[in-house]
A and B are shown apart, each in its own frame.
Chain A
Amino acid sequence: MNRRNRWKWLVTAASFSVGVALVAAACGGGGGNKTTTTSGSTSTSSSAAGKSFALFRIATDTGTDYLDPGLSYTVEGWGVMWNVYLPLLGYKHVNGPDGATIVPYLAQSLPTVSSDGKTYTLTLRKGVKYSDGTAVKASDFKATIERDYKVDSPGVGFFGNIVGANEYSKTKTGSISGITANDSTGVITIKLTQPQGDFMNILATEFAAPLPASTPAKDQSTTPAPSTGPYMIQSYAPNKQIVEVRNPSFDASLYGGNVPAGNPDKVVWDVIGDDNVALQRVISGQDDWLGYHPIPPDRLSSVQAKYPNQIKLFTPANTYYFFMNTRVAPFNNLKVRQAVNYAIDRQALVRVYGGLAQPTEQVLPPTYPQYKKIDPYPYNLAKAKQLIAQAGVKGMAVTVWNHDRGLDPRATAYLTDVLNSIGLKATQKIVAAAVYWTTIGNQATKAQIGFADWFQDYPHPLDWFDVLLNGERITQTHNNNYANFDDASVNSQIDALKKEPTLTNAVNARWASVDKEVMAQAPWAPFLNRQFTDFFHSNVDLSCYVNHVLYEFDYSTICMK
Chain B
Amino acid sequence: MAQRVTESEFTLDTAAELAAREEPAAIRGRSPWYLAWRRLRRNYVAFFFLALFLLVLAACALAPMYASHVAHTGPNTNHILETVKVNGKETPVVSPGGVINGKLVASIPIGPTWFSAGGRFVLGADQNGRDVAVRLLYGGRTSLFIGIVSSVICVFFAVILALVAAYYGGWSDFVITRFFDLFYAFPVILLGIALGSALAINGFHHFGIDIQSGSIWIPTLVISYVLIPYIGRPLRGQVLSLREKEFVEAAIAQGASPFRVMFVELLPNIASSVLVFFTLIIANNIILEAALSFLGAGVQPPTASWGTQIADGQELIVTRPWLSLAPGLAIVITVLSLNVFGDGLRDALDPRAKVKVEH
Contact = CB atoms under 8 A, between A and B. Distances in A.
B302 interface: yes
A20 to B, nearest CB: 31
A126 interface: no
Interface stretch (B55-63, B103-111, B219-227, B275-283): B103-111
B315 A298 contact: yes
Interface string A368-412: 000000000000000000000000000000000000100101100
A351 interface: yes
A355 B96 contact: yes
A276 to B, nearest CB: 9
Given A298-B318, A416-B76, A431 B97 contact: no
B196 to A, nearest CB: 10
Interface centre among B98, B105, B108, B302 (most CB of A within 10 A): B302
Interface centre among B97, B106, B214 (most CB of A within 10 A): B106
B240 interface: no
Given A354-B97, A409-B301, A298 B128 contact: no
B316 interface: yes
Interface in A303-351: 304, 308, 311, 313, 345, 347-348, 350-351
Contact of B302 (A351, A354, A428, A432): A428
A356 interface: yes
B104 A313 contact: yes
A237 interface: no
Contact of A296 (B129, B300, B315): B315
B200 interface: yes
A218 interface: no
A95 B123 CA distance: 44
Contacts of A531: 98
A292 B51 CA distance: 50
B273 interface: no
Contacts of B315: 296-298, 407
A36 interface: no
B300 A313 contact: no
A412 to B, nearest CB: 8
Given A298-B315, A354-B97, A435-B201, A413 B302 contact: yes
A309 to B, nearest CB: 12
Given A417-B78, A533-B104, A298 B200 contact: no
Give chain B's interface residue range (CB within 8 Å of chain A): 35 or more
Contact of A428 (B103, B197, B214): B214
Contact of B127 (A313, A404, A410, A533): A410
B81 interface: yes
Contact of B296 (A404, A413, A439): A404
B320 interface: yes
A513 to B, nearest CB: 30
A213 interface: no
B84 to A, nearest CB: 15
Contacts of A439: 201
Contacts of B77: 417
Contacts, number: 116
A352 interface: yes
Nearest to B109: A351
B339 interface: no
Contacts of A404: 296
A299 interface: yes
B316 A297 contact: yes
A53 interface: no
A300 B197 CA distance: 33
Interface string B82-112: 0000000000001111110001111110000
A435 B197 CA distance: 11
B300 A430 contact: yes
A430 B296 contact: yes
A101 B98 CA distance: 29
Given A348-B80, A350-B98, A356 B318 contact: no
Interface in B278-305: 296, 300-302
A297 B95 CA distance: 12
B105 A427 contact: no
A251 to B, nearest CB: 41
A311 B103 CA distance: 10
A429 interface: yes
Given A298-B106, A354-B106, A356-B97, A432 B76 contact: no
A298 B108 contact: yes
A353 B94 CA distance: 11
B78 A356 contact: no
A354 B317 CA distance: 14
Contact of A356 (B98, B201, B301): B98
A355 B301 contact: no
Contacts of A311: 104
Nearest to A297: B106
Contacts of B213: 429
Contacts of A350: 97-98, 107
B319 interface: yes
A427 B80 contact: no
B128 A414 contact: yes
Contacts of A301: 105-106
Nearest to A355: B97
B195 to A, nearest CB: 13
Contacts of B318: 296, 298-299
B197 A432 contact: yes
A439 B129 CA distance: 30
Given A352-B80, A352-B127, A431-B200, 9 more contacts: A297-B108, A298-B317, A348-B81, A351-B107, A354-B106, A356-B106, A413-B128, A418-B78, A431-B201
13 contacts: A301-B105, A304-B103, A304-B104, A313-B99, A348-B80, A351-B95, A355-B98, A355-B105, A410-B127, A413-B128, A414-B80, A417-B76, A428-B302
Interface of B: 76-78, 80-81, 94-99, 103-108, 127-129, 197, 200-201, 213-214, 296, 300-302, 315-320
Identify the 8 closest CB pairs spanning chains A and B, nearest first: A355-B97, A298-B319, A355-B107, A297-B106, A348-B80, A300-B106, A351-B107, A355-B98
